[in-house]
Amino acid sequence: MNRIILILVALATLCSCTSKSEPRATTRLPKIEILLKTTPVKDQGQSQLCWIFAMLATIETEHLMRGDSVNLSTAYVARMALRQRIQDAYLAKGKRPIHLRGMASNALSAIADQGLLAYDTYHVEDYSVFSAFPKKAANLCKLAVAQQEGLVRLVQRYDNLADQSIGALPRAQFMLGAEYTLGEFGRSVCRHDEYVGLTSFTHHPFNAAFALEVPDNVNRDCLLNLPIDSLVSLTERSLRAGHPLCWEGDTSEPGFNFTQAIARIPEHSTAPTQQMRQREFETFRTTDDHCMAIVGLARDAQGKRYFIMKNSWGTDNAFKGFMFMSEDYFRMKTIALWAQRECLGA
C-alpha cells in the first residue's frame, strides 16, 4: 500500500456512471497534501454500479485508516440490491422499474439488510455482466406476477439465475481464522447508522432532512440539507481527520476529463455560490451522473484546492484511476455526500 501511495505522489509531482475515455493528453497535476490509504482501483466496466463501487471504496479506506484491511464485494451488494428491487416490483404487480442504478444510500441499505462479503470471496472478472442481468431479473418478475407465484418462489428463481449469471454464494465469510455469517460480517464492517447522507439545495430548508428529488434516489432516502460552505468545510475536516467521504454528482461537464485526471469548471470571478448551484440544478444543467470516493486533498501551482477522488473506471489515466476535482467544481456540481456521522459534530 505504501508503495502505491509513493507511486501516486510521484505521478502527481511530475505531472454517465459507466466508464468513459477521452483522447490521451498530458496535464500538470496538482501537488498532493493528503492521500488516505486505499484498496486497488477497480473497473466497473459498462455496469451502472458506481454507487456501490464508491460507497464500498469509502468503507474500505475508512478501515485502512483505522489499521484494518478489508476489500469488499461489489458483486454481492449488487446481487442483493437487485433481489430486493424485484421483490418490491412484484408486490407492486410489476409496475416498478427494475434496474441497477442508485445512490450510495441504497448500498448502505443493502449492507444493513443483507450483510457483506469480501472481494476475494465473491467477485466477477467483468462487471459488464450486470448490464444485461437486470433485464433477465425483470423477465423473471414479470412471469412471477402473471402466475401469481409469491415471493418465496420468485426469490428461489432469482437466486438460481444469479448463481448461473454471477456465481453461487458461499455459506459464510471466513476472515482471519474466524467464520462469520454474511450479516455478521456486514455489521462488523459498517454499522447501520455509521454514515449520514448530505446535500445542499435551497428548495428545502437547511439543517433538515428531505428526500432528494433525483431519479437514482429509488428508495426516497432522506439527506441532511446543509449550506455548500458547510459541505466544503466538513469534507476538508473529515479528510484531515483521516476519514474518506462518498461523493455523487455531475460528470457530464466539459471540464470533467478522466484521461487527464482533472475535473474543473471555467474560471469565475468569484467562487460558485449557493444560488448559482441551485440554478444549475433546477435548470437540469447539473445532472446526477456518477459516484466516487473522496480520499485526499491537493493544491495546484496557484494555490487552488482540489479534492482527490478514487474513481471506478480502471487505471488508464494520468493518475492511475484517481482524479483531482477542483473546489469550484465540487461547489457547483456536487449532488450528495456520505460522511462519517462523527464528523458532523467535529
22-72 pLDDT tens trace: 544 456 789 999 999 999 999 999 999 999 999 999 999 999 999 999 999
* pLDDT value, residue 20: 59
Amino acid of residue 97:
P
97-106 pLDDT tens trace: 999 999 999 9
Confidence of residue 21 (pLDDT cuts 50, 70, 90): low
Is residue 2 pLDDT above 80, yes or no?
A: no
Chain centroid, CA 300 distance in Å:
26
- Give the Cβ contact number of residue 252 at 10 Å: 15
Residue with more model confidence, 99 or 10: 99
- Domains of the chain, start order: 2-343 (3.90.70.10)
Amino acid of residue 62:
E
Angle at the Cα of 104 (from 16 to 161), degrees rounded to 5? Answer: 80
Cα–Cα dist 222/219, whole Å: 9
- Site of grid cell 485502512: 64
Is residue 317 pLDDT above 60, yes or no?
A: yes
- Site of grid cell 476538508: 236
Cα–Cα dist 267/275, whole Å: 17
Query: What is residue 126's three-state secondary structure?
Result: coil
Residue 257: which of 98, 20, 97 has the closest Cα? 20
- Site of grid cell 469488499: 72
Mean pLDDT of 218-232: 96
